[in-house]
Amino acid sequence: MRGGDRSWGLGFLYGLYQRRLRRELAGAVRPRHVAIILDGNRRWAKQRALETAGHGHRAGAAKFREFLDWCDERDIEVATLYLLSTDNLRGREPDELHDLFEIIATLADDLSHYRDWRVKHVGDAAGLPPELISALTAAEARTAGKTGLHVNLAVGYGGRREIADAMRSIVRKHSDEGGTLDALAEILTPDLIGEHLYTGGQPDPDLVIRTSGEQRLSDFMLWQSAHSEFYFVEALGPDFREIDFLRALRDFATRQRRFGK
């Protein structure tokens, strides 16, 4: 079989399998909120001998757009994208961070003009350049009244920092209202902390997907993922395919979520 014929044949089989997965998911239990750690962009660029990691991050941003389309088509309500962590801000080289800031700002702007999606920045603005903060703020404002897929952009995000910020917010509010420490101890509950997280008012992620074969959370949604289902994919971020996503949904539909019962 010639190369072109082989590619056509593989594409045909891929299409058949994809349609079969879609049929299997018809009527299946689906997650309300899916979060994704699209890992492996730098390795993807290195494997292709591309000049900089920025090429991998741009391919990852394009994949994020595809992923959101897949979520929207499956009637998922909330999707959270892990774009830049607080650890990344400390550990990446300045040139790579500069590329990432530009890529994320462009992604936020693009998403805010697409369909009826609502875009929200979840994370801490500390350490982010003014141009990126402006792009994230503008995307939020532009989409505030939209009612479609809710897209969380986790930028400058760290799960431990989020919990600390939530606690500071609770203590500050309680103090401003004239409350005492003893009274605070009485009202401090997991529900109250949840209300003060960056994602306050949203459902917790039912499903967390991570690409590139890594099997760790990397400080992502530590509080919210307490009862999440996890799905790990070997493919590097830019190679993540719709059939990988559909397999994750199929796997989720078969799991029994007991929540301690």
Catalytic positions are 39, 88
What distance in Å separates the CA atoms of residue 228 and residue 215, rounded to the nearest whole number? Answer: 14
CA end-to-end span of the chain = 55
Tokens of 148: 């479609």
Residue 202 φ then ψ, to 5°: -100, 155
Of the candidates 109, 119, 121, 49, the one whose C-alpha atom is nearest the C-alpha of residue 84 is: 121
Of the candidates 100, 66, 106, the one whose C-alpha atom is nearest the C-alpha of residue 83 is: 100
What distance in Å separates the CA atoms of residue 56 and residue 54, rounded to the nearest whole number? Answer: 5
